[in-house]
Amino acid sequence: MHHPLILPMATHVALTALLYALLTIARAPKIWGIGQRRDGSNPWASIEPRISANLSNQFEWPLFFYAACLLLIHAASVDATAIWLAWLFVAGRVIHSSVQILTMNVRLRGLVFTINFLATLGLWVVLLRTTMA
């Protein structure tokens, strides 16, 4: 039987893999000449830096998400709140990636990041509550 926190963690890994694939596609015209415009330019040139920045973001704050999940798994004490917060984090990451890649709206991106931020802090509260009890 798998642990209920493994699936949200694996879903975030899948999101990160998807971003690597998108970045490869966005860089293909420049690196391999595949998909260039007739004039030789890259049709993805404007979006490539945003995909790259978002991919880097997947290795920053999510570190604290993974640490909390792994510690909760190790503590063998996961309640419905922790599972809900883990899925909220993943949903927030998907929304954050969409906003960062598809728009230039930094204000909205900051608001969306708050979902991930609070979900992760919530996981740490659950962890502390569990281990301090």
Here the CATH number for the domain that contains residue 125 is 1.20.120
CA distance 88 to 119: 6
Number of domains in the chain: 1
pLDDT tens for each residue of 62-100: 999 999 999 999 988 789 999 999 999 999 999 999 999
| Structural tokens at position 36 | 């260039």
Distance (Å, rounded) from C-alpha 107 to C-alpha 128? 31
Question: What is the predicted pLDDT for the residue at 132?
Answer: 85
Q: Domain of 49?
A: 6-132
Which band of pLDDT confidence, cut at 50, 70 and 90, is reported for residue 131? confident
What is the spatial distance between Cα 92 and Cα 116, in angstroms, rounded to a whole number? 5
33 located within any domain: yes
Sign of CA dihedral 99, 105, 109, 111: negative
pLDDT digits (tens, 9 = 90+) for 99-115: 999 999 999 999 999 99
Q: Considering the domain boundaries, does residue 12 fall inside one?
A: yes
Residue 1 lies in a domain: no
Residue 63 belongs to a domain: yes
Tens digit of each residue's pLDDT (9 = 90 or more) over 11-49: 999 999 999 999 999 988 677 667 766 777 777 788 999
**Is 130 in contact with 77 (CB distance < 8 Å)?**
yes
